[in-house]
Amino acid sequence: MRILERLKHKAKSTLRGLNARTASTRNRMDSPAATASETGQNKQSFVDKRKQRSLLKTIINVGHKFVVLLVRWLLRTIYGEKGKKMPPIRNLILMESASSLALKIRTRKLTSVEVMETFIERCKEVNPLLNSVVDERYEAALKDARLADELIASGTLTEEQLATEKPFLGVPISTKDCIKVKDLLHTAGIWKRRTIRGEKDARAMELMRRAGAIPFALTNVSECCMWWESVNTIHGRSRNPYDTNRIVGGSSGGEGAIQAAAASAFGLGSDIGGSIRIPAFFNGIFGHKPSPHIVSNDGQYPEPISEQQEMFLSIGPMCRYATDLKPMLRIIAEDNAKKLRLDEPVDLKQVKFFYQLNDGGGSLVSPVDLDIRDAMEKVMAHFRTTVKAEVRKVYLDKFRKSAPIWFGNMKHENEIGFDAQLVNLEGKINPWVELLKWGIGQSKHTFVGIMTAVTEKAGIQYGSEKYHYMVQQRDELLSEMKIMLGENGVFIYPTHPTVAPYHTEPIVRALNFGYTGIINVLGLPSTAIPLGLGHEGLPIGLQVVGNLNQDRLCLAVACELERAFGGWVAPEVLA
C-alpha cells in the first residue's frame, strides 16, 4: 500500500510540473513580444528565401543570355550571313491563291493538268535546296488532274455546282508527314515508322479530296512531331527559303517552307504547341489553329493520349493567302462549321483589340525582336486610326509562365513516355545509351529527341503539387482571357519572340515556343499572320487569338492585315 501511495504522489507531482511548464510556454506564446519576435523571424526567413530564389533565377537567366549570344556568334561564324537563294518564280500560276486557281480551273481559264505540272516542276526545282518534300504522288496526282478536267469538260455539273460541291477542284494540296495520305509515308519522323504508309486518308485530307483538292506532296516534320525545328534521322533537316541557314520551324516546318517557296498552293498542318503557327511565322505564310473539337484529329500520329491533349491538338489550314483560310476551314470542319458562324459578317469597327508586346519576361525566354514589336505597334495604329476600332494595351502576368503551364497541362495519368514514343510504342529506348550512340553517330534518334526522353522524368509530374498549380494557373488565365475577349474581342500577341534562328539554335532557346503553346492549353483559336520581312530579310508577323469558336474574328483580322501590309512576300530569287 505504501508503495502504491508513493507512486500516486510521484505521478501527481510530475503532472503538476508538466502543467506548470505548459502554462509557462503558453504565456510566452501569448505575449505580444514573443508573437512579434517569432512572426518577424518567419517573415525574415521567407524574405531571405525569396531573395535567394530571385538571385538564383537572375544568375540562371544572365547565364542563359550569355550562352544564347555565344551560340549565335558561333553559328553565324559557321554558316555565314546568308544561305543559298531560291530560283526565280517564272510561271505566274505559282503566284495565285488556291481559291483563284480553283475558279480559273472550273471556268476553263486553266486546266488542272497545267496547274499540277507547274507545281510539280517547282517542287523538283526548290526541294534540293529546301529538303521539304519527303514523299510524293506526282504521277497519280496528274491522273487525278486529268479526271478533274474531264469532269469539267463533261458539263455534268454547272460552274455554280462545282463551286458549291467541289470548291477546290483540281488544285494541288500538300500536307505534313504525320497526317495520313493514302499510299504515302506516315512516319511522323520516327525511325521505326520509316516504312509505314497510310492505308487511307486522314479525315481532314479525305474532306479536302471530296472538295476536289488533289494531294501531291508530303512534307518534312520534326522527330515525333514534338520540336520546333523540322529535322529527323529519316529525311534530314529542312531549310528556310528566305535563308537556307535558318530553320523552317516545326513540326509543320516542311509544309511552311514548300508553300513559302511557291511550290504548293495550300496545305494542312497540325498544332499542339505551335506546330502550325511557328512554321507559318518563320516562313511568312498564314496558318490557323482552330477552336478545339472543330476539326477531326483522326489519321494523325502520334495520337493524343487524353481528352485534354485531344483538345489542345488541332489540324488546320496553312496557305500563302488569307482568302484561302475560311473556305479550307469550312471544309475540314464539316458539320462543326456551323458552330463557328463563318458566314456571319465581321465589322472590324465593332471588334475590340487587345494587345501585349511580350510575355512579361519569362525565364529562359528570348526578348521579342525590335522588328516584331515595331510591326505590332504599326498594326495597332492601323486598327486605331484607319479602322477606328477600340484598341487597348494589356498586361496578363501569367503569360510569363507560358512554357511551364504548357508542360504541366500536357501531363496525364496514363502518360506514354517519350522513350516509348521514339520507338513507335514498341518497347522503350534507354536514353543514356542512345545519348552515347548519338555521340559517335550511331543513334537513329535526334539529340533533342533523346534529351527529351532524358529530362522527361525530371519535369512536372502528373498529380504533383506543381502540376495542380499549373492547371490552376491555366484555368485562371483562361478565365481572364474569356472575360476580356467576350463575344467581339481579339488578342494580338507575338507568334514567336524572334525571327527564324539558325539550324540547331533552338536547343538554347527551347522555351520560346511558349508564345504559341500557351494558346493551345487555353483551347483558343489563333491565326499566324505574316507582316513582311524584317531587317535580316526574314519573315516577321504576329498571331491573333479569339475566344472559343470565334475563329471568324481571327480570319477577318488576317484578311484585313493582308490587305493593309501585303501578307506573303516571295523569297529573294537569283539575279
Per-residue pLDDT of the chain (575 residues; tens, 9 = 90+): 343 344 344 444 444 443 444 444 444 444 445 455 555 666 566 556 666 777 888 899 999 999 999 999 999 999 988 898 899 999 999 999 999 999 999 999 999 999 999 999 999 999 999 999 999 999 999 999 999 999 999 999 999 999 999 999 999 999 999 999 999 999 999 999 999 999 999 999 999 999 999 999 999 999 999 999 999 999 999 999 999 999 999 999 999 999 999 999 999 999 999 999 999 999 999 999 999 999 999 999 999 989 999 999 999 999 999 999 999 999 999 999 999 999 999 999 999 999 999 999 999 999 999 999 999 999 999 999 999 999 999 999 999 999 999 999 999 988 899 999 999 999 999 999 999 999 999 999 999 999 999 998 888 999 999 999 999 999 999 999 999 999 999 999 999 999 999 999 999 999 999 999 999 999 999 999 999 999 999 999 999 999 999 999 999 999 999 999 999 999 976 43
Catalytic residue selected from 112, 230, 252, 275: 275
Burial of 144 (0-12, 13-18, 19+ CB in 10 A): buried
CB 356 within 8 A of CB 313: no
Q: Is 251 a catalytic residue?
A: yes
Domain map (residue ranges) of the chain:
66-411+460-565, 417-459
The SS3 assignment for 449 reads helix
CA-to-CA distance for 563 and 565, rounded, in angstroms? 6
Gyration radius from the chain CA atoms: 28
For 18, the grid coordinates are 508538466
Q: Is 109 a catalytic residue?
A: no
Catalytic residue selected from 251, 252, 264, 402: 251
Q: Which of 209, 220, 198, 204 is nearest to 171 (CA)?
A: 209
CB 545 within 8 A of CB 519: yes
Q: Which of 196, 157, 207, 488 is nearest to 331 (CA)?
A: 207
CA-to-CA distance for 188 and 225, rounded, in angstroms? 6
Catalytic residue selected from 104, 166, 176, 289: 176
Q: 572 CB contacts (<8 Å, ≥6 apart)?
A: 85, 86, 242, 537
CA 555, 557, 558, 560: dihedral to nearest 10 degrees?
130
Pairing mode of beta strands 489-493, 390-393:
unpaired
CA-to-CA distance for 284 and 538, rounded, in angstroms? 8
CA-to-CA distance for 499 and 247, rounded, in angstroms? 10
| Alpha helical stretches, state H, 131-229 | 138-154, 159-165, 203-210
Q: Which of 261, 344, 313, 353 is nearest to 569 (CA)?
A: 261
CA-to-CA distance for 451 and 433, rounded, in angstroms? 11
- CATH for the 66-411+460-565 domain, from 2.40.40.20, 3.90.1300.10, 3.40.50.300, 3.30.70.120: 3.90.1300.10
Helix (H), strand (E) at residue 532: strand 526-533
Query: Which amino acid would we find at residue 420?
Result: A
> pTM for the full model?
0.91
Phi, psi (degrees; rounded to nearest 5) at 63 = -60, -40
CA-to-CA distance for 146 and 155, rounded, in angstroms? 15
CA-to-CA distance for 353 and 391, rounded, in angstroms? 5
